């Protein structure tokens, strides 16, 4: 898998379309979440695209600058992988790259995420720790997690 990182202003229309299509396929159709995906945070964020050897967008995450989602924290959000390519390890590779790129973009900034509860152990394997109580977002249990 090879990665491309672009700020929103640098995305081509085709890249943006492909990103939004993948996010909708997973979050809206697969997870049955009726929510407004375009939340006015894309424009201020960096977009990490992981491509499979055949050029398919295999994995994606949105890297949010300090303070955009959480005061004092940078964040990683909209973490998603192509359903047809699951079990290939792309999710783990994506998170490693997301954390690394956040370190470059937002040096010394701690990270905070809103994780789906069933993925808690996955995020813990990257050094994230749960903080606070479980909460419901879009009818799915979530928990905030931080990584110093």
Instruction: Note the pLDDT tens digit of each residue in 9-36.
Output: 999 999 999 999 999 999 877 777 777 7
Domains and CATH numbers, the chain: 2-108 (3.40.630.30)
Of 85, 64, 82, 60, the C-alpha closest to 74 is 64
Mean pLDDT value across residues 74-95 = 93
Compute the distance between CA of residue 148 and CA of residue 142 in angstroms, rounded to an integer.
20
- For the stretch 90-139, pLDDT in tens is 999 999 999 999 999 999 899 999 999 999 999 999 999 999 999 998 88
Summarize the confidence of residues 81-89 as an average pLDDT. 89
């Amino acid at each position: 898998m090879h990665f491309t990182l672009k700020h929103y202003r640098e995305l081509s229309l085709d890249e943006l379309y492909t990103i939004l299509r993948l996010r909708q396929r997973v979050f809206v159709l697969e997870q049955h979440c009726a929510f407004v995906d375009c939340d006015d945070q894309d424009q201020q964020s960096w977009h990490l695209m992981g491509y499979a050897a055949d050029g398919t967008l295999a994995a994606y995450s949105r890297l949010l600058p300090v303070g955009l989602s959480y005061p004092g924290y940078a964040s990683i959000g909209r973490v998603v992988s192509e359903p047809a390519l699951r079990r290939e390890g792309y999710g783990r590779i994506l998170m490693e790259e997301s954390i690394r790129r956040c370190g470059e973009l937002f040096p010394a900034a701690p990270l905070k995420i809103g994780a789906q509860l069933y993925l808690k152990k996955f995020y813990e394997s990257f050094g994230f720790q749960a903080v606070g109580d479980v909460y419901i977002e879009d009818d799915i249990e979530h928990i905030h997690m931080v990584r110093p």
